[in-house]
Amino acid sequence: MRTCMRAFRCWERSRFFCSLTTCWIWARNRPSASSSGAISAMISRTRRASSSSDACSSVVCSAIAIQLLASVSVTQASISQLKDEISTRLDALRPELEQIGRDIYANPEIAYEERQAVAWLTELLKKYGFAVEIGVANTPTAFVATRRNGSGPTIAFLAEYDALRGLGHGCGHNLIGTASTGAGIALADLLERVPGRVLVVGTPAEEGGGGKIRLIRAGIFQQIDAAMMVHPDTRTQVLHWALAVTHMHFEFTGKAAHASGDPEKGINALDAFVLAYNGISLLRQQMKEGARLHGFLKEGGTAPNIIPERTSGEFLVRARDEAYMQELVQKVKNIFQAAALATGCSVKLSFDDAPYADLRNNGVLAKLFEENLQRIGIDPVEGVPWENAGSTDMGNVSHVVPALHPTIGIASSEVPGHSQAFLEASGSPRGYQAMIAAAKALAMTGADLLSDPALVEQAKGEFRRS
């Protein structure tokens, strides 16, 4: 009987030592968010083993447990060191990044015409070792810049650089492109120690045109594990909401006639628009929370004594999800067709073939980004879901890969977006300080993902469930 008990204890200790050693090796090579739980379990088993085994076994168990803790502690320290290096690197890069930001600011280029911005950004990326392909997705002002070492995760930073027609960089895209470029350079410098692939993806035409949608359709995002960017705003907010949106063009055609001498011979296209606009106004009362309908009349007649023969304009249809947006689209179509029928006009309606999707921020990425903001001394506000929501083609990206689109404050809360005041903020010292802060938090979040592929799998798991 004693022989059997000794044999059993020997087998139990051997099995335990093997489990503990396996956990140690795993923690050294793949430290993850679950490491602490595994460590706790192993320590608990160590205590049980020491109480049921001889003193020698207890000493060995304790030694292995201490080694395991030391291993994870070293790993955590090394990640912290990597982040310190990122911060130092971006401080050194700031003069170059800020100069490019100022150049883009001073030379605004609208959707799909951003050739100079692309040249400035890609020249810097080439200087720091990136392989650059310009003109991806059959789009001359789109690019993909790549640095790789080993077979780790692929992290993409998305660069925007298009301006608003007539206002320039009143949305701060001069800061977005440079922040993402800086983040890519700083993270790629660490690839010798945290293997993987770093991309900076140049995405034109966010302000109408859907550049990211072109890249999605071309397969650019198929091998990407996480996609991130930061947008300037009046506040720093990790979770940022954006509405699905589609763009409608309309044209009513009637018949011109003398407005005083022969009004009965005319068909008034302006009346058709007035009916349609009133219908839109009535529909607004019945819409779900967060939905938006807004537009303008581009062409409403040529002279007051001529019955308007033609009217045209544009509307945007927005909602919190694509399904309800499409439901509203059908109602808007019905309104315009009814207005045409009531006035005797004909109507032509056209919609974007690439509507913007609602934005789905990934919670795993958001938590990491928030921690890294706090690391550099920035406390983000919590924000109210859907408050002040606009739309972005980053929403479409968030439907194909885990994605994050936080905001960073560059102006006071009373400053509206797409305004002269926000334009001034985008070129201010505060704006460029925010650019560097955004780049640091982005690159540090990328370092978290490259150093712990288990976090990437967590982000993908949440993405699949969303």
Report DSSP state, residue 205. Answer: -
- Is the model's pLDDT at 65 over the cut of 70? no
For residues 307 and 375, state if they share a domain. no
Nearest to 320 by CA among 265, 387, 372: 387
pLDDT digits (tens, 9 = 90+) for 336-386: 999 999 999 999 999 988 999 999 999 999 999 999 999 999 999 987 787
- Of 317, 351, 385, the one marking the end of a domain is 351
Contacts of 324 (CB under 8 A, 6+ apart): 244, 288, 291
pTM: 0.82
Instruction: Please report the pLDDT score of residue 213 as a whole number.
Output: 98
At 442, the amino acid letter reads L
Burial state string for 70-93 with b = 16 or more CB within 10 A and e = fewer than 16: ebbeebeeebeebbebbbebbeeb
Residue 368 lies in a domain: yes
Average pLDDT over every residue of 440-466: 97
143, pLDDT greater than 50: yes
Is the residue at 23 inside a domain? no
Count of C-beta atoms within a 10 Å radius of residue 360: 21
Average pLDDT over residues 301-325: 98
Q: What is the pLDDT at residue 6?
A: 47
Task: Report how far residue 162's alpha carbon sits from residue 204's, in angstroms, rounded to the nearest whole number.
Answer: 6
* DSSP assigned state of 359: P
Please state the φ and ψ torsions of residue 423, each to the nearest 5 degrees. -60, -45
151 & 232 share domain: yes
Domain identity same for 238 and 250: no
Total domain count, the chain: 2
| 313 and 388 belong to one structural domain | no
Q: Label residue 150 exposed, middle or buried (CB < 10 Å: 0-12, 13-18, 19+).
A: exposed
In a domain, 14, yes or no: no
The one-letter amino acid at 351: F
Distance (Å, whole) CA 169 – CA 110: 9
pLDDT tens digit sequence for 272-307? 999 999 999 999 999 999 999 999 999 999 999 999
**Is 106 found in the same domain as 217?**
yes
The verdict on residue 3 lying in a domain is no
**Could you identify the residue written with the tokens 């370092």?**
447
Does residue 435 share a domain with residue 384?
Answer: yes
Look up the CATH number of the domain holding residue 266.
Answer: 3.30.70.360
| Tokens describing residue 167 | 């206002």
Which band of pLDDT confidence, cut at 50, 70 and 90, is reported for residue 75? low
Domain end (from 302, 324, 351): 351
Choosing from 294, 329, 351, the residue where a domain stops is: 351
Q: Are residues 404 and 266 in the same domain?
A: no
For the chain, the average pLDDT equals 88
Q: How many residues does the chain have?
A: 466
Would the pLDDT of 70 be above 70? Answer: no
Same-domain pairing of 253 and 277:
yes
Say if CB 206 and CB 242 are below 8 A apart: no
Say if residue 308 is in the same domain as residue 259. yes
pLDDT value for 24: 40
Looking at per-residue pLDDT, the higher value among 53 and 330 belongs to 330
| Radius of gyration of the chain from its Cα atoms, rounded to whole angstroms | 29
Residue 370 shares a structural domain with residue 419: yes
- In terms of residue numbers, what domain contains 123? 93-242+357-465
Give the whole-angstrom CA distance, residue 341 versus residue 50. Answer: 88
Q: Which one-letter DSSP state was computed for residue 254?
A: -
Is residue 238 domain-shared with residue 305, that is, in the same domain? no
Q: For residues 222 and 204, give the distance between their C-alpha atoms in angstroms, rounded to a whole number.
A: 19
Domain CATH code at residue 221:
3.40.630.10
Report if residue 320 sits inside a domain: yes
Say if 413 falls within a structural domain: yes
Tokens linked to 15 = 């099995």
Digit-coded pLDDT (tens) for 266-279: 999 999 999 999 99
369 and 331 belong to one structural domain: no
Three-state secondary structure call for residue 436 = helix
Q: Determine the Cα–Cα distance for residues 173 and 163; give it in Å rounded to an integer.
A: 7
Please report the pLDDT score of residue 76 as a whole number: 59
On whether residue 206 sits in a domain, the answer given is yes
